[in-house]
Amino acid sequence: MPIAKVIFCGKSKKKTGNTRFMLKALRRRVAQARFINLPRYKKLFFWTDYQKIIQRKIIRCTPDLVLIYSKDIPYAVLQEISAQYKTAIFYPDVKIPLDENLIQYARLTDYLFITNKRQLPELQSRGVKNPIFCMQGCDRDEHRITPTRNRKWVSEVAFIGRPSTAYRLQLLQRIHQRFHLKAWGARWQEWGFACPKTHVYPQEYAKICYATPIILGCDYSHEMDYNFSNRTWITLGCGGFLLTNYQRGLEEIFIKGVHLEWYHSQEECLDLIDYYLKHEGRRKEIARHGYQFAHAHRTYDVVVDEIISRIENDR
């Protein structure tokens, strides 16, 4: 059945812009897409049962699909609407072991789109009807090459993210000893790194990619098939040269040394940083190919079309 009307539930995600990018893509893909900003409703209607107000709004719209970002909907509302409307969750996070709350939410929905393959069998065995692998993407408009002359954005190597693992901290410390490194997106000063901004927004991310020869990837888990941070698509989408840790399945999506570069160990990472800082032409060629690849194959328009088409064509 064609999907013409979609209710999209989530948070504003001001820092990453993910829900805004998905909403724009939805509005290009379907006849009508409305966003319910759940925290805003909770704030506006704190004096009454804001969950009932959200539920009534969804019912009044009579949507063909209710698409939920992560778990950003009250469970009680999902219980009520899942019996009346087609529902789907797009879950961009990875938790090891599986998030028990996610499983409870996903059991109520018709589809769960998740950004790693390894957990699909377990999700299905635990009662999730349609767990489906779906990667994130970049925005076709905001994730673009953005020239800047401001030296604030310049370093030899940049990492954008949080100090969430010991491995990541250790690697960044080793890079910091040999190269000019800036870490962005958290309170990195506590670990002795230069950190000009603790919150990085899309246009700033693009400036870092333009001004920095090497953007480092160092993802959460080394054990999840096809699971890598959305830093991958955003960096390529902004025209940055990405050097990231190897994850199983990368070679089925990208060509090493053509779209991006990857390392298997900290020693190899350091060697590749040294090599690509000395080979500017090679580095820029890879960044150009990665940019073209991301905008041709993995914008949020592609992501949303993948979601909507899968649901429309499911019988």
List, for residues 9-57, the tens digit of each pLDDT value.
999 888 899 999 999 999 999 999 999 998 888 888 877 888 999 999 9
User: Is there a cis peptide before residue 97, judged by omega within 30 degrees of 0?
Assistant: yes
Residue 15 structure tokens: 């820092």
DSSP-H helix ranges across the chain: 18-29, 38-44, 50-61, 75-81, 100-108, 120-125, 166-178, 202-211, 231-237, 250-253, 266-278, 280-297, 300-313
State the pLDDT at residue 220.
Answer: 64
In words, the CATH class of domain 5-137+299-313 is alpha beta
Cα 273 to chain center, whole Å? 25
DSSP character string of 144-155? S------GGG--
State the pLDDT at residue 53.
Answer: 92
Across the range 271-275, mean pLDDT stands at 98
Which CATH topology does 151-297 take? Rossmann fold (3.40.50)
Domain ranges of the chain: 5-137+299-313, 151-297
CA distances, 181 to each of 148, 208, 276 (Å):
18, 12, 15
Strands 87-91 and 261-263: unpaired
Q: Which residues touch 119 (CB under 8 Å, ≥6 apart)?
A: 94, 98, 131, 224
Contact 259, 286 (CB under 8 A): yes
Domains 5-137+299-313 and 151-297 share a fold: yes
| pTM metric for this prediction | 0.95
State the pLDDT at residue 298.
Answer: 97
- Rounded distance between C-alpha atoms, residue 233 and residue 290, angstroms: 9
State the pLDDT at residue 57.
Answer: 94
Checking if the pLDDT of 226 tops 80, the result is: no
Q: Identify the weakest region by mean pLDDT among 77-91, 170-184, 221-235.
A: 221-235
pLDDT category of residue 168 using cuts at 50, 70 and 90: very high
State the pLDDT at residue 300.
Answer: 98
* Beta-bridge partners for 181: 157
State the DSSP code for 260.
Answer: B
115-167, pLDDT tens digit by residue? 988 899 999 999 999 999 999 999 999 999 999 999 999 999 999 999 988 99
